[in-house]
Amino acid sequence: MTPQTPVRSEATQRPFGNGRSVSLFTLGTMRALAGPEQMAVVLRAALAAGINHLETAPAYGPAETFLGQGLASLAAEGLGPHGGWRITSKLLPLGDLEAGRRQLTAILSRLGIPRLDSLAIHGLNRPEHLEWASHGAGAELLAWALGEGLVGQVGFSSHGGNDLIEAALATGRFSFCSLHLHLFDQTRLPLARSALAAGIGVLAISPADKGGRLYDPPPELLADCDPFHPLELAYRFLLDQGISTLSLGAEQPQDLAWAAALAGPAATWLSPAHRAALERLAAAGRERLGPERCGQCRACLPCPSSVPIPELLRLRNLAVGHGMGVFAGERYNLIGRAGHWWEQSNAEACRHCGDCLPRCPHQLPIPELLADTHRRLAAAPRRRLWG
């Protein structure tokens, strides 16, 4: 199933913090890394899809260099979005002020631009990262960058817990944030709504990939979402929530097909037919999981052995409830291998102490379900996923 809607030349844009408005979709540049030619091809497709916001980072290898070259080649042909590209790059939360200055200067040099629209702290995942960004060298760096006019606004991306994200937003230092917001992982949606209400821009990190490999859905998921594609439903759900922009890491022009199809203004993002499909999808998951469905309420925490119970049982929900075992297996096998970007303990850390049992409102046999999660997912292939 592929999108049928023709490409539009004018895209709907949304406010993004204190910066210029951005397109509904943001081109992530971490996948078009074969060379500047590939990046230019993807840039052209993004332009045709109504995209004006680009996201990159030094951590994406040669992405910034290729992006700078791709932008120059499009500019030489007079190609670019109305009002120019909006560009966001990101810096890891470490190092002193001087190192940060050098990094930002190098970013601008690689991109061939005098100023970034938006600079994000890349992976504000731990309390020490927030300390660095709000009181340490990071705070000095951000103030310097804003004061010098080298960046238009500052924000952060985070894979951390809700408490940390809430604390970061509450500092008032950040104008935008990039969060994991997905149809199949809605735990951060209340935070996103609060941020939007406060005028903070919100980018959803890769709903297609991190949201469940929805570009390659399993048969169960396709059937449950029929007549819509799961990715279309996921995108429409997030747009209906008012999320500022959805990131999409394209490797080839076809990867931008849904972005092109959904680029134009819409009277409503979720028609009655879309809402009915979402309800059928949820009902199918509930039916397959039966009484073993984890409701994601987090009442079982804290676990004395630091088992991330809700996160692990969410993966089980996806595998059993929606046939998404490949995605769940990838995520499960990354545990303990991705530093502060993902969980540190898998289901084997459960010591069967039973502390969590009386706290679960659904009376779930948590240790048994964790063991089942490990049996189902531990042997699946793994890959490194950037945030």
**Residue 266 contacts residue 232 (beta carbons within 8 Å):** no
Angle at 104 between CA 98 and CA 107, to 5 degrees: 145
Interface segment toward ligand SF4; rule CB under 6 A; list 58-66, 166-174, 248-256, 362-370: 362-370
Interface segment toward ligand SF4; rule CB under 6 A; list 62-70, 206-214, 229-237, 292-300: 292-300
Our CA dihedral for 193, 194, 200, 203, rounded to 10 degrees, sits at -30
**Residue 137 contacts residue 108 (beta carbons within 8 Å):** no
Beta strands in 131-188 (DSSP E): 151-157, 176-179
Tokens linked to 6: 């023709």
Contacts of 104 (CB under 8 A, 6+ apart): 91, 116, 119, 141, 145, 150, 151
Packed helices 63-76 and 97-111: angle between N→C axes, nearest 10 degrees: 40
Q: How far apart are the first and last CA of the chain?
A: 27
User: How far is it, in rounded angstroms, from Cα 330 to Cα 315?
Assistant: 10
Decide: is 303 part of the binding site for ligand SF4 (CB under 6 A).
Answer: yes
Q: Output the smallest distance, CB 324 to ligand SF4, in A.
A: 18
Q: Output the smallest distance, CB 271 to ligand SF4, in A.
A: 31
Q: Output the smallest distance, CB 360 to ligand SF4, in A.
A: 3
Strands 176-179 and 25-28: unpaired
Looking at the Cβ atoms of 257 and 319, the one nearer to ligand SF4 is 319
Looking at the Cβ atoms of 303 and 324, the one nearer to ligand SF4 is 303
H or E stretch covering 106: helix 97-111
**Among the listed residues 114, 227, 291, 354, the single contact to ligand SF4 using CB under 6 A:** 354
Interface segment toward ligand SF4; rule CB under 6 A; list 119-127, 247-255, 303-311, 332-340: 303-311
**Among the listed residues 71, 108, 130, 309, the single contact to ligand SF4 using CB under 6 A:** 309
Q: Output the smallest distance, CB 341 to ligand SF4, in A.
A: 22
Decide: is 191 part of the binding site for ligand SF4 (CB under 6 A).
Answer: no
**Among the listed residues 51, 119, 366, 377, the single contact to ligand SF4 using CB under 6 A:** 366
Q: Output the smallest distance, CB 353 to ligand SF4, in A.
A: 4
Helix (H, G, I), strand (E, B), or coil: what is residue 83? Answer: coil
Decide: is 290 part of the binding site for ligand SF4 (CB under 6 A).
Answer: no
Q: Output the smallest distance, CB 287 to ligand SF4, in A.
A: 17
Interface segment toward ligand SF4; rule CB under 6 A; list 47-55, 216-224, 283-291, 347-355: 347-355
Amino acid in the structure at residue 123: G
Packed helices 162-170 and 189-197: angle between N→C axes, nearest 10 degrees: 10
Looking at the Cβ atoms of 114 and 354, the one nearer to ligand SF4 is 354
Interface segment toward ligand SF4; rule CB under 6 A; list 2-10, 217-225, 241-249, 305-313: 305-313
**Among the listed residues 100, 310, 323, 387, the single contact to ligand SF4 using CB under 6 A:** 310
Q: At residue 79, what are phi and psi to the nearest 5 degrees?
A: -100, 135
User: How far is it, in rounded angstroms, from Cα 226 to Cα 243?
Assistant: 24
**Among the listed residues 351, 365, 368, 384, the single contact to ligand SF4 using CB under 6 A:** 351
Decide: is 300 part of the binding site for ligand SF4 (CB under 6 A).
Answer: yes
Q: What is the CA radius of gyration of the chain?
A: 21
- Binding residues (CB under 6 A) for ligand SF4: these are 294-300, 303-305, 307, 309-310, 313, 350-356, 359-360, 362, 364, 366-367
